[in-house]
Amino acid sequence: MSTILIIEDEPRIAGFVAKGLKSAGFASHRTASGVEGAVLAVQGDFDLVVLDIGLPDIDGFEVLERIRGQGVSVPVILLTARSSVADRVAGLESGADDYMPKPFSFEELLARIRLRLRSEAAPAWGDPTHLTHNGLTLDLRTRRASVGDRTVDLSAREFALAETFLRNPGQVLSREQLLSNVWGFDFDPGSNVVDVYVRYLRGKLGRERFETVRGMGYRLV
Asked if 87 interacts with Ca ion (CB under 5 A), we say no
Using CA atoms, how far residue 126 sits from 12, 114, 123, 187, in Å, is 39, 19, 5, 34
Q: Which segment (44-52, 60-68, 119-127, 179-187) binds Ca ion by CB under 5 A?
A: 44-52
Rg (CA), the chain: 20
Q: Which segment (52-60, 82-90, 151-159, 168-176) binds Ca ion by CB under 5 A?
A: 52-60
Q: Which segment (38-46, 49-57, 95-103, 136-144) binds Ca ion by CB under 5 A?
A: 49-57
Q: Is 147 exposed, middle or buried (0-12, 13-18, 19+ CB in 10 A)?
A: middle
Asked if 57 interacts with Ca ion (CB under 5 A), we say no
Asked if 52 interacts with Ca ion (CB under 5 A), we say yes
Nearer to Ca ion, 82 or 118 (CB): 82
Instruction: Report the residue from 1, 9, 32, 206 that binds Ca ion according to the rule CB under 5 A.
Output: 9
DSSP type of residue 183? I
Nearer to Ca ion, 20 or 54 (CB): 54
Q: Which segment (2-10, 96-104, 140-148, 196-204) binds Ca ion by CB under 5 A?
A: 2-10
Cα 171 from Cα 9, distance rounded (Å): 32
Asked if 101 interacts with Ca ion (CB under 5 A), we say no
Within 13 Å, how many C-alpha atoms sit on residue 80's CB side? 22
Nearer to Ca ion, 60 or 217 (CB): 60
Q: Where are the alpha helices (DSSP H) in the chain?
A: 11-23, 34-43, 60-69, 85-93, 106-125, 156-167, 175-178, 193-205
Nearer to Ca ion, 9 or 65 (CB): 9
Handedness of CA 200, 162, 171, 109 (dihedral sign): negative
Instruction: Report the residue from 20, 54, 95, 128 that binds Ca ion according to the rule CB under 5 A.
Output: 54
- Report the nearest approach of Ca ion to the CB of residue 85 (Å): 20
Closest to 208 in 3D by CA, of 218, 196, 195: 218
- Report the nearest approach of Ca ion to the CB of residue 102 (Å): 9
The one-letter amino acid code at 58 reads I
Binding site for Ca ion (CB under 5 A): 9-10, 52, 54
